[in-house]
Amino acid sequence: MAVSLAPTFTRTRDRLDWRQGGIVAFLLALLVAFILYPILRVLWISLSDDAGNLTLLHFLNFFRRPLFRESLWNTLQGGFLVVFFSAVMALPLAYIIARYEFRGKVLLQTAATLPLVIPPFVGAVALQLILGRSGMVNLILMDWFDITIPFMEGLTGVVLVQTLHFFPFILLNTAVSLSAIDASLEEAAQNLGCHGFRLLRRITLPLMLPGFTAGSLLTFIRAIDDLGTPLMLNYKNLLAPQAYLRITTIGMDDVDGYVVCVVLVILSLTALLGARKYLSLAEYASVQRSAAIPRKPHGKILALIWLMIGLILGMSLLPHIGIFLLSFSKVWSFSVLPTTYTAGNYVEILFRAPHFVINTLIYTLLAAGLDIILGAAIAFLLLRSRVPGRNLLDAIATMPLAIPGVVLAVGYLRVFHGWDFPGLGAPLTSSWFILVIAYTVRRLPYTVRACYAALQQVHVSLEESAQNLGANRLRTFAKITLPLVAGGLVAGGLIAFVTSCVELASTIMLVPRIELGPISYGIYLYMQSPLGRGAGAALGVVAIILVSIGTYLTHRIFSGSAGRAFKI
């Protein structure tokens, strides 16, 4: 944002610039080493021929092939449909969260994060057991009406599952935007005789548009890059699965897979830049504002609210219900509910393999901490300095949003494996720290955005006043800036923690040995055998509980600001 800081800086400008320049250089070196270079090493394949020379042939071939054109079209179509249906689900809930105050709201906010956390594999199995062609719903339908509904087939299935999975992005963003609308604007309209639907249409909707747009674009990007859903539904004519299948197919260095990756990256970055451009036009920081005071609903309205919540969250938490049931089941085959129950699955994961849970906590908390430090530093440079190179930092830090986990993992193996990392006595890829790095990098885009949003809302005049009163920069930062942005920082850390808990794509490739694996890896291991389904689901339940506790605490401590984590 073009907030002028010139007066503050004139006195010590040279020294400050030098120091900030050093930080930028250091951060740039970090990001290039762990993001840009590994990714370019992999994607170079798509731009070179057999002799290693530059060629665009592979990209031309992409557009010549009907299969890829079809996949591109399906991807775009799916992305837009997901955004549309997510908006339908999210907007009523966002309005309720922003405008009403009632008992149990924190629970609602916690539950609204859970759809984002569908543990890999078990999520798929659980959803099949409920919505699949021989799932709970269809078995009942078959029994009562002798019909079945193909919820989970083809592109329809992908759109359904992705909608249930990603709609919180729109929900949380819009809710933040709604509660940030200056109440005086609505009051002014009301005083002028504008009420009800007209008020909503003319004042409220336009003002919440920035948040809604941000959420929609994030949903769009996540939907087109999402690999888990199409794979679990075995729908392959989309870009993300085409890239994955071709890259990981045995014995073939299939260049087309990497080309599809690059196309995906371009699509995502275009969407992202579009979003930025739009938002930078529409959103500004304010020194202070009078937020709307939430109403306390009673009677019929309260009942209606809970009905709505029950309906929407009930639907989006179906996989979680399925996972819970599966975790207590021994045999669940072609029946509405499991036929044999057991608690043995929990005994297995808590006593025989507790390291999965412990590792997850260590890795994800470390990654979240690193993300907060990096995110805050980058956001600070973006907003409070004019050092050249800071926008480059931002661009590189955003890239992982569009890079498939597999590509990043292969890049890491390619770059870091051959040599001993200084001070480690072994290659970086032989230690578990590579997982922390991968998680940090994969979630960095979220924390940068969250920190940016938090810092943006602290007007620079507050810091200037502190300095005018004699505080030095460090003291100003510690006493003024940090307390004001802490909520946003923690929110950013939260989303890094939440999504890392179930990160799979890069995990499988990078885990150096089984004892060092996190929960997502443990689930993968258990799900490879018929005996392990229940234990895998039990691990999934643990992941969901960890995430719930994290989210609940964050909402409790920093009420409301957690939503910022999902801003872009």
Partner 1 sequence: MRRGSLLGALLFFFLTVPTLFAKDVVIVTSFPKELFETYKKSFEAKNPGITVVINSKQTNEGVTYLRETKAKPDADIFWVSAPDAFQTLESDGLLEKYAPPKEIMSRIPAKIGSFPIHDPDGNYFGFAISGYGLMWNKNYLKAHKLPVPKEWTDLTNPKYFNHLVISAPSRSGTTHLTVETILQAYGWEKGWALLLNAGGNMGSITDRSFGVPEAVISGQYGIGVVIDFFGLSAIASGQPVEFAYPSLTSVVPASVGIVKGGPNPQEAKAFVNYLLSEAGQVVLFSPEIARLPVIPELYAKAPKDYPNPFKKKLGGVNFNDTLSSGRRDVVNSLYDHVITFRHKELRDAWRSIYKAEDALAKSKSAGVAQGKNLVAEARNLASQVPINDKKASDKEITGAFKSKSGVKAQLETEWENFARANYAKAKELAEKAVGLAN
Binding of residue 256 to partner 1 (CB under 8 A): yes
Complex with partner 1: residue 248 or 467, whichever CB lies closer: 248
| Shortest distance (Å) from residue 237 CB to partner 1 | 6
Which of 190, 234, 270, 468 contacts partner 1 by CB under 8 A? Answer: 234
Q: Does residue 512 bind partner 1 (CB under 8 A)? A: yes
Interface with partner 1 in residues 30-69 (CB under 8 A):
48-50, 57-58, 61, 64-67
User: Quick one: 411 or 563, whose CB is closer to partner 1?
Assistant: 411
414 is an interface residue for partner 1 by CB under 8 A: yes
Closest CA to 205 of 95, 107, 345, 297: 95
- Using rule CB under 8 A, residue 12 touches partner 1: no
334 belongs to the binding site for partner 1 (CB under 8 A): yes
Among 290, 472, 529, 559, indicate the residue that binds partner 1 (CB under 8 A).
529
Footprint (CB under 8 A) of partner 1, residues 287-326 = none
- Binding to partner 1 (CB under 8 A) within 110-139 occurs at 125, 128-129, 132-135
3-class DSSP state of 54: strand
User: 54 pairs with which residues across the strands?
Assistant: 48
- Say which residues have a Cβ less than 8 Å from residue 498's Cβ, sequence separation at least 6: 113, 116, 117, 547, 550, 551
Q: Is 351 exposed, middle or buried (0-12, 13-18, 19+ CB in 10 A)?
A: exposed
Burial 108-137 (b: 16+ CB within 10 A, else e): bbbbbbbbbbbbbbbbbbbbbbbbbeebbb
36: left (phi over 0), alpha (psi -120 to 50) or beta: alpha
Residue 73: its H or E element: helix 66-99
Give, as ranges, the residues between 370 and 389 that touch partner 1 (CB under 8 A). Answer: 370, 373
At residue 458, the 3 state secondary structure works out as coil
Per CB under 8 A, which region of 284-292, 383-391, 426-434, 480-488 contacts partner 1?
A: 426-434
Q: Which of 99, 236, 355, 459 binds partner 1 (CB under 8 A)?
A: 236
**Does residue 344 bind partner 1 (CB under 8 A)?**
no
Kindly state the tokens that stand for 39: 């990714």
Q: Which residues 214-233 are close enough to bind partner 1 by CB under 8 A?
A: 231
528 binds partner 1 (CB under 8 A): yes
Distances, alpha carbon 505 to alpha carbons 244, 509, 520, in Å:
10, 7, 9
DSSP reduced 3-state for 463:
helix
Instruction: Report 141-160 residues binding partner 1 (CB under 8 A).
Output: 154
Question: Of 178, 198, 209, 161, which is closest to residue 93 (Cα–Cα)?
Answer: 178
Q: Binding of partner 1 at residue 425 (CB under 8 A)? A: yes
- To the nearest whole angstrom, how small is the minimum distance from the Cβ of residue 300 to partner 1? 43
For position 183 contacting partner 1 by CB under 8 A, the verdict is: no
Quick one: CA dihedral 501, 321, 80, 170, positive or negative?
Answer: negative
Which residue type sits at 171? L
Residue closer to partner 1 (CB basis): 24 or 214? 24
Interface size with partner 1, residues (CB under 8 A) = 75
- Chosen residue from 102, 433, 477, 558 binding partner 1 by CB under 8 A: 433
* Cβ at position 389, least distance to partner 1 in Å: 19
Which residue stretch of 102-110, 165-173, 288-296, 503-511 sits at the interface with partner 1 (rule: CB under 8 A)? 503-511
Q: Which of 106, 331, 549, 557 binds partner 1 (CB under 8 A)?
A: 331
Residue 414 parent element (H or E) = helix 405-416
